[in-house]
Chains A and B, each alone.
Chain A
Amino acid sequence: MVEFNQANPYENVRVLVLEDETHIRQIICRLLRQIGFRLIHDVANGADGFKELLRVNPHVILCDIHMEPIDGLTFLRKLRSLGKPEITRIPVIFLTADSERDTVVSAKDLRVDGYLVKPVSPKQLKTRLDAVLFP
């Protein structure tokens, strides 16, 4: 699915970031660039995220949970229920400070591909992204 580049496997991977806190979004983008990503698209909520998702057709999505007006769980639900397999198959990783059991269970029910609790280290993020991108 991704053109594998030995030197930088992340070079041609499109990643979509949904995060409402501006500075956290910047940190995540920075982390992604650190890992080697170049094609990073970032939006502040699930509503914009949905349009951006249709627009850029990302390979992976990093998503916060608590956002307005559309939160991460709703976003994921919408994504999974969309009839297009090329979109429903996109891996989604939640990146959130919320470690409440209920939220984790809801996320799990929606077949989320990863659940990282903030603060996330570059290593953790990389490991999880590798797991979903290069299985």
Chain B
Amino acid sequence: MPRRWVVFCVVAVSVLCGSGAFSYWVYHAQRDELVADASHDLKDATVAFGQALTGIFEPALTLSGTVADSGIRHADAQAWPTLFFAVATGPVRQFEQINGAFLAFPDGRFLHVQDLEISGPKRSPKGGATSRGIYQRIIDDPENDNSGRWRVFAPETGLSTLSRRTTKPYDPRTRGWYQQVVADREAHWTEAYVFATSGRVGVTYAKPILNADGTIWAIVGVDLSLGSLSQTLLTTSSALAGAADIVFATDFAGKILGHPGLVSDQSDFQVSTQEFLERYRDPTSFESIAPLQLKQGPDVQTVSASGMSFLTTRTELDPERAMPMEIYLARDLEHLLTDARLVVYRNVLMAFLAVVVFGVVASYAVKLRVEVSRRQQAEAELIEARDVAEAATQAKSTFLATMSHEIRTPMNGVMSMAELLGLTRLDGEQRRMAKIIIDSATSLLTIINDILDFSKIEAGKLEIEAVEFSLMDVVGGSAELLAPRAEAKDLDLIVRNDPSLIDRRIGDPTRLRQILLNLGGNAVKFTESGGIGIRVRRVERSELPGTESDGVSMPAECLRFEVSDTGIGLTEEQRAKLFQAFVQADSSTSRKYGGTGLGLSICQKLTELMGGTIGADSVAGEGSTFWFELPLAAVGDAPPRYAEDLSAASVGLVGLSDAVAEVAELYLRATGVEDVERFPTLEDASGTRSLWIVRCRSGDRSMAGLAALEGHVVLLGYRAQMSELAPELKTRASALLTVPISPDTLWRAVAIGLGLRPAEEIEIDVREDMAFVPPDLEAARAADALILVAEDNETNQVVVRQMLGRMGFACEIAENGQIALDMLATPGYGLLLTDFNMPVMDGFELARTLRQNEQETGLRLPIVALTADALAGTEDACMEAGMDGYLTKPIDSRKLGAMLARYLPHALALRREAADDAPVAAGKPTIDWDLEIFDPDTLGGTFGGLDDEAKELISSAAASWTTRVADIGVALAAEDMKTARDLAHALKGATLSVGANRLGRIATDLQDCIDNGDVEMAAIMAEILEPTLEEFQETLPKIMRL
């Protein structure tokens, strides 16, 4: 990849340049810092030097000051030499740098004390024997002896002895220092010069001692050897500065005064001093350049000389305390920076390395960043694509949901209409057509509900509940819903719940039922003969996760639900595509069997939502088993059992198919019933058993053998079959059991057989929504099906008669018990309905008397009481009087129907269906309008009936209301409230007095609104006056016909 290399090289070069620049910057920063530090050090050092050097000069100043202040001027001429020497000799001896001290007078007299090194007469070049001593020179008569005499001071004795030493004549007045002091009468420092006597290089400090008149009395002077200056510089510099440092002192003219070299380089100090000083006068020497350069510019500068660089600074001594002098201190920059450079080089190297490392890391980071952002972009694109897709799915689902809703609304209309149509009187063909409409609409609604469900699942809007439910109820309920379809195709529907399963579960019963119904529905749909089996059992807990309820993890038991059929089955290939949406096993089957193909897909999704799995096993042509496994947490730990012990029961199963009998036996054994026997037909069955379970089929009108069975009889059949059973059969049965059998209903039946429960009141459907016409009295009497009603209240008589009539029973009325008793003397009555409280003979007495009479005849007429007060003791009282049952008023037609079906079953056959639109009892004019529109009693009361005069009044009044109502509208529009109120008030009076109560009420409300200032409501009231008036006008012709 050349491009990659180019990029790498560019990056490397820029990293190198960058690190170089950075390193350079670091070096410079470091160098500047070092130089600054060094400068600071130098400044400090020069101060120290200054102090050290000042120390040299101080004794000189002190000495001259002492002499001047000693009062020597006032001593007499003989005494002051002694005095001078006494003061000066000590310091000269003591301080090495003080070479000598003198006192010079304007007349040429001269006193001098000197620290001298006197060599022998023949001085060897290497010093040889030299003697050192303090010599005093006295020139007290310069006119005659200008050489003076010398004395040697013996320190041991403190006495001076005359020396033989002779020297050249000396006139202090010729000396430079003398002339300088005389010129301005100020103290002066001389330039460096070679002392005449000692030959050393030095300087002289000369200070005048003035007379009172200001003239010079004498000049006191101190000679300072510059050698000691250099010595001090050497000593101090070795303490303060490094070996490579240069330090020297000059006067203000730049002439060298002191230099360590003077001491260290020269063994023969005196001889070579001049030469030495010459050396530093070389204009190329550092010592010459530095003073010149430092005259200008900053205190600290870099001075270059003979190829070397020095960091240089200078300072001046305090002129009050020392001679005028500059001190230069220089530090070799190279040396200074050597260590620093090492540090710098190391730093630079490290910086370089750091930069390189950083560069490498950074380049990788950048590369990574690019990669990441590329991936993020890709991811974002994916997310966007997914969102778009999801939005599309959402939109699709929303659309489907909306559509489904839109379709459902008119479908509801179709279904309701079809249902109403089915209730009307139709011939066979029409009835068939109505049924097809209902069936088609139902299946269409099912499909729509499927689509709705599917789109809800797709849109993620379907929520799974976790509630407690009964497994048996859900499975049994689902099976019961499937039963009619299975029955229609003459398929056996067997449900087999494992009775050892715990019944209470946590889960979503609705969705479980939905799956069962779907799979069961398919099974029925695709099975032509044989049977459908629904089975629930426990399976080994597989990898299914536990369900969670309210955050508490429950141990979930895995249940397997199987729906098997003996239908067309599936091929392996079909099985693979089974759970895909919109796919049916075979497109040809969809033509034959219909359906959306969504059902299984919904089942699968629901199962998954509930944390389970779904699947199918099948052999093509032999049948399929669809199964699903769900984790359903159990509540409690006991499988259901009947509360009481049923083990004593003996059960006979009559006419049950093997499969059904097997399930029944399984359930019976689960509750401890062991004595179970099967009988193929009713003819085979006989004997005494606590319970007979007899399979019955639709159309069974009479089952002759039933009577021969001893013990309680329970009829078993499909629910639809049950409703069509002949009432005679039902009256024999203690309970009805529907197929498929559920354990709890079976157990309840056994309990009835054992007498632990009362027999069930079997509701005999009298089709209350279907109107019947009663048989004529004679027909009823002939069939012993006539009902006698003993009731004194006229209204109740009418009610009971009407109710019985509508239900298809013929009856006669007796006003009291005595009359009833008389009537019952004639045969033909099948049942007595009697009120409790009646004049002459009440219900109880009637019943007792009747039962007494019956003891002779051996017959027994069923007696049912009618009572308004269903008190606690009523039932006992009824039974005690020999009654069979009682009904409370107002009478519930259903209960009455059930009672009649139980005690008067043979009358059911006599019922005749009523013809539609049976003419209502004609003759009397009817009021078929709302009495609020017009109440005829209002005027009728006044006029004693609605005669022609009254009708005339009504119509003329109504004619005037039209304008009045219009006027109210106009007045309100004009906001003329007073007029509107008056008009409303007038209308109210007129309408109410005639009986047009609705108009009257609205007019009253209008008036109230106006009174309350509620203009808005008043407008509404005025608005609704109009249609109300119209309504009245429309009713008017009917009123006229009254």
Contact = CB atoms under 8 A, between A and B. Distances in A.
Interface of A: 6-7, 12, 14, 21, 23-24, 27, 30-31, 34, 38-39, 50-52, 54-57, 97-98, 118-123
11 contacts: A6-B802, A12-B931, A24-B412, A24-B416, A30-B420, A51-B1023, A57-B932, A97-B405, A119-B415, A122-B420, A122-B423
Given A7-B802, A97-B405, A122-B420, A56 B413 contact: no
Contact of A122 (B415, B769, B799): B769
Q: Which of B405, B412, B423, B932 has the most CB of A within 10 A?
A: B412
B417 interface: yes
Contacts of A34: 420, 423
Nearest to A82: B1017
Nearest to B1024: A55
B156 interface: no
A54 B1024 contact: yes
Contacts of B795: 6
Nearest to B424: A34
B409 interface: yes
Contacts of A57: 932, 998, 1001
Classify chain B: how many residues form its interface, as a range: 20 to 34
Interface string B76-118: 0000000000000000000000000000000000000000000
B242 to A, nearest CB: 94
Q: Which 4 A-B pairs have the closest CB atoms?
A: A119-B412, A55-B1024, A118-B412, A6-B799
B891 to A, nearest CB: 10
Contacts of B162: none
A27 B420 contact: yes
Interface string B854-866: 0000000000000
Given A30-B420, A97-B412, A7 B932 contact: no
A56 B928 contact: no
Interface in B381-420: 405, 408-413, 415-417, 419-420
A14 to B, nearest CB: 6
A27 B931 contact: no
Contacts of B416: 24, 27, 31, 118-120
Contacts of A12: 930-931
A52 B1020 CA distance: 10
B930 A39 contact: yes
Given A6-B799, A7-B798, A27-B417, A55 B409 contact: no
Contacts of A55: 998, 1002, 1024, 1027-1028
A114 B114 CA distance: 141
A31 B998 contact: no
A82 to B, nearest CB: 9
Contact of B408 (A39, A97, A123): A97
Interface string B773-802: 000000000000000000000010011001
A21 B413 CA distance: 9
A119 B412 CA distance: 5
Contacts of B415: 119
A110 to B, nearest CB: 21
A24 B420 contact: no
A12 B930 CA distance: 7
A24 B413 contact: yes
Contacts of A38: 928, 930
B950 interface: no
Given A6-B799, A39-B930, A122-B420, A54 B412 contact: no
B35 interface: no
A100 to B, nearest CB: 10
Contact of B420 (A31, A50, A51, A56): A31
Contact of A51 (B417, B799, B928, B1024): B1024
Contact of A23 (B405, B413, B1002): B413
Contacts of B928: 38
Interface in B973-1013: 998, 1001-1002, 1005
Interface of B: 405, 408-413, 415-417, 419-420, 423, 769, 795, 798-799, 802, 890, 928, 930-932, 998, 1001-1002, 1005, 1020-1021, 1023-1024, 1027-1028
A56 B798 contact: no
B419 A97 contact: no
A21 B1002 CA distance: 29
Nearest to A14: B930
Given A6-B890, A23-B413, A120-B416, 13 more contacts: A7-B802, A12-B931, A21-B410, A23-B417, A54-B1005, A54-B1024, A55-B998, A55-B1002, A57-B932, A57-B998, A118-B408, A118-B416, A122-B769
Nearest to A119: B412
Q: Which of B420, B769, B930, B1020 has the most CB of A within 10 A?
A: B930
Contacts of B408: 97, 118
Contacts of A6: 795, 798-799, 802, 890
Nearest to B408: A97
Contacts of B1028: 55
Nearest to B1008: A84
A62 to B, nearest CB: 13
B663 to A, nearest CB: 33
Contacts of A7: 798-799, 802
B1020 A54 contact: yes
A98 B416 CA distance: 17
A14 B928 CA distance: 13
B420 A97 contact: no
A122 B419 contact: yes
Nearest to A3: B931
Nearest to B418: A119
Given A38-B928, A55-B1028, A21 B409 contact: yes
Nearest to A97: B409
A27 B410 CA distance: 11
A76 B415 CA distance: 28
A54 B416 CA distance: 30
Contacts of A51: 1020, 1023-1024
A77 B681 CA distance: 65
A21 B411 CA distance: 12
A24 B1027 CA distance: 24
Q: Which of A7, A21, A30, A119 has the most CB of B within 10 A?
A: A119
B684 to A, nearest CB: 42
Contacts of A52: 1024
A24 B932 contact: no
Contact of A54 (B890, B932, B1021): B1021
Contacts of B1024: 51-52, 54-55
Nearest to A120: B416
Contacts of A30: 420
A121 B932 CA distance: 30
Contact of A56 (B931, B998, B1021): B998
A21 B406 CA distance: 12
Nearest to A24: B413
A120 B417 CA distance: 11
Contacts of A122: 419-420, 423, 769
B795 to A, nearest CB: 7
A118 B409 contact: yes
A50 B1024 CA distance: 10
A103 B408 CA distance: 17
A121 B419 contact: yes
A99 to B, nearest CB: 10
Q: Which of B416, B1001, B1020 has the most CB of A within 10 A?
A: B416
Contacts of A98: 405
A16 to B, nearest CB: 12
Nearest to B445: A119
Contacts of B802: 6-7
A76 B969 CA distance: 28
B969 to A, nearest CB: 14
A56 B932 contact: yes
Contacts of A97: 405, 408-409, 412
Contact of B409 (A24, A50, A123): A24
Contacts of B931: 12
